[in-house]
Amino acid sequence: MSTLHDRSAVKYFRYLTILTSVEAFVSLFLLLGLPRFAENAWLFGYSFNRAVLILGMLLVFIGTLWLTFTVWRSEKWIEKITRVLGELSTHKQTTDRILTSLVSSFTFLFYILLVWGVTEDAYYLGYLARFGPFILFAALVFGQVFGVIVWSLPTSERKPWVWSLLLGMVLVTLQGWYLIWDNKLDNVALLLIMFFGAFYIQWMFRSGYDQPLKVKAGWVIAALVTGVLLLVQLLFIPKKYLIHTQTLFHFSSMILVSAVVLTDGTDRLLTVLSKNVSTRILVYLCVASVFLFAGWQYYLAGDAHAEAVNIAYMPNDDEQAFMDFAIQVRETGFLYSGWRNQMPIYPYIQAFFYTPGMTMDEFFPIAKRVNIVLSMAVLVLLFFFVRRYLPLYQAVTLTLMVAFGLYLYKSGYVLVETLYYIWAFAAYVLFCVLLVRPSLKRAIWAGIVLGIAHLTKASVLPAFLLFVGIFALKEIAALFPLWRQEHSWKRVWDDAKPHLTHLAAVTFVFLLVISPYLIESKKLYGEFFYNINNDFLWYDSYEAALRGPSWDGATSPMMKYFQDHNLADIWNRIEYGLHWQVENLQYQYGFFNYLVFLTVFFIFIFLLNIKRSIIFFKRHVFAGMFVALYFSAYFFLSVWYSPISSLPRFLYVLYIPFVFTIYYTANKLAADSSLPLIRTANLTVFIMVGIDIWHIASNGPFFRDFGS
């Protein structure tokens, strides 16, 4: 341990007292040299406040002179100071508190001196000229005392304190430049945010000094990437209720520092609260409170949107079709199963709330409110489902994002999508899990979920067929090398049998769940999976679909389409669909802004962990293939269907799977150095959702469909 016991250290301290005395004299001289005014002649031209300040500085100067003479004349004071420093070195907690106070005080005074050297505002310069010499002296003393105490510490403990002091100076400089140049120094809130952020990051740096450089650099990368992500938001999809982009740019350094502070603080708080049962209960009570408040705002906004926008159903539209379906279900004693356009689960739910004798106009507002409450119920289901795969804070953020970015503006309609999206998403996740970790239990659940999704909306069959194909390809890729090596079909069959059992279980349970509906379809329409929308895929327009088929029973709709259309016609249809689906992506703000943010976020995670990412995707190549083909297939189907209906509700089935996939994959790809970026992005998205909720609660829902 290096202390002041040696003679060189004693000389250092003695010369330090001389330096302090000189600094006190210079500060006193500068205070005396300030301009005086005749009206204060009774105080030698100084005001009363100035005279008190000069008197205080004079006393300080006399005290430093006394200390200097005492130290140079007597060794006892050196021994006392040496003993105090030695005791401090053995009481780490006390030393840390003293040094923290010195670092914080010096950082604070450094910023004031920075203001004095940069600002051109006469108001601040007047005050700084009067108090500046005293502030300069205080900063020098704090710095020198800090140096003395740090010098007494072991070598290994010095560096964190010295570097944290320099870091604090850099942070207040970066954060405070706009406050100085735009004369916002009177904004106490901004000043407190700046200083608190600098002090907290200094503490973060010291407490994590022994961590690998990659981890410490991860926080810097997280702040910079978060800034890029927010800049993307401002450049491409600005909100009316945001501050002007230029103002946000001026505050960018403060925003990024605050993001780091809030992220680390939240993470530490959650870690502490998760250590025992009682605090974990507190966390879940907080989550429940968030959901109760958000749920109430969701219901109010959804109901207001339904009353302001969806004021009447249109003849022959989907809302009228679902209500008519529900009425017939109730009037037939729940025996009617539809004419194979809409699937039965949603109308059966609505039928419970229909009272015989109601007119369609009387049923319409009831059905809208039923859909709002039903969408809230499935959002709760969504939270508990994704909680199995994501950390708590990501599950909360994803649920709120879906609620206020997608569901809110669809809840006040008598449409099946808010129910269907959840079941389609659950089937998608279970398919991915089965491709990675197949088991009989998961296969049974996948079959049940797939059956419910199909009876909700007949749009999951492409996903199921895609899953079957990828699953079979995976088995072939695994078994082909075995067959080449063994040349034994029995060995191949023995290895393939467990996995084929899983695939058979999914298929069997799926067919079992929907079997009553399939049997009735075969009996009434001649096909097990008959659905009128399958024919709609091959019409050129909605009007043509209303006129009915232009083919005979001997020719399939698909064959008839390709017989009557050339490549130019097909390309024109695709181009038309691409135009409208890209429009749909941008049409709903709450849909688009989070997708942009998360897409760029995922790109950074991939690039920062590129070796780990390549290994991960090689290991899960078939699951990755399924994900890529799933999104491509449903996007293409939306494009192809656009001439019949270009509404965004078909494309939005990809929203929840996309967000979930990014969160889940980013968690798997990230090394320790990338965890700060994930946590910062999580918090940023949560704040974005919070801003949306605040905007909706204070200004009401958007008065256009789907929150455009």
pLDDT in tens, 304-327: 888 888 888 877 788 888 999 999
Higher pLDDT, 616 or 694: 616
Looking at the predicted structure, is the pLDDT value of residue 38 above 80? no
Looking at the predicted structure, is the pLDDT value of residue 553 above 60? no
- pLDDT band at residue 374 under the 50/70/90 scheme: very high
What element of type H or E holds 289? helix 277-308
Looking at the predicted structure, is the pLDDT value of residue 632 above 50? yes
Query: What is the mean predicted confidence (pLDDT) over 490-503?
Result: 73
Q: Please state, as a whole number, how many other Cβ atoms lie within 10 Å of the Cβ of residue 114.
A: 16
Query: What is the mean predicted confidence (pLDDT) over 266-276?
Result: 81
Looking at the predicted structure, is the pLDDT value of residue 246 above 80? no
Cα distance between residue 171 and residue 157, in whole Å: 22
Query: What is the mean predicted confidence (pLDDT) over 273-292?
Result: 84
Q: CA separation (Å) from 519 to 93, 506, 525, 529?
A: 77, 19, 10, 9
Backbone angles phi, psi at 238, to 5 degrees: -70, 150
Looking at the predicted structure, is the pLDDT value of residue 4 above 50? no
pLDDT score for 707: 43
Backbone angles phi, psi at 560, to 5 degrees: -60, -40
Nearest of 316, 197, 345 to residue 258 by alpha carbon = 197
Query: What is the mean predicted confidence (pLDDT) over 278-287?
Result: 84
Looking at the predicted structure, is the pLDDT value of residue 378 above 70? yes
Higher pLDDT, 116 or 445: 445
pLDDT in tens, 79-106: 676 666 666 666 778 788 888 999 999 9
pLDDT score for 178: 81
Cα distance between residue 54 and residue 33, in whole Å: 11
Cα distance between residue 251 and residue 254, in whole Å: 5
Backbone angles phi, psi at 6, to 5 degrees: -75, 160
Higher pLDDT, 484 or 401: 401
Cα distance between residue 612 and residue 617, in whole Å: 9
**Which residues 6+ apart lie within 8 Å of 367 measured at CB?**
319, 322, 323, 326, 350, 353, 354, 414
Joined tokens for residue 363? 């049923």
Coil, strand or helix at 328:
helix
Looking at the predicted structure, is the pLDDT value of residue 7 above 70? no
Backbone angles phi, psi at 353, to 5 degrees: -105, 5
Looking at the predicted structure, is the pLDDT value of residue 349 above 80? yes
pLDDT in tens, 162-213: 999 999 999 999 888 888 877 788 888 888 999 999 999 999 888 888 888 8
**Which residues 6+ apart lie within 8 Å of 686 measured at CB?**
393, 396, 397, 400
For the chain, percent of residues with pLDDT exceeding 70: 85
- Find the range with the poorest average confidence among 258-267, 498-507, 543-552, 629-638: 543-552
Joined tokens for residue 496? 């393939």
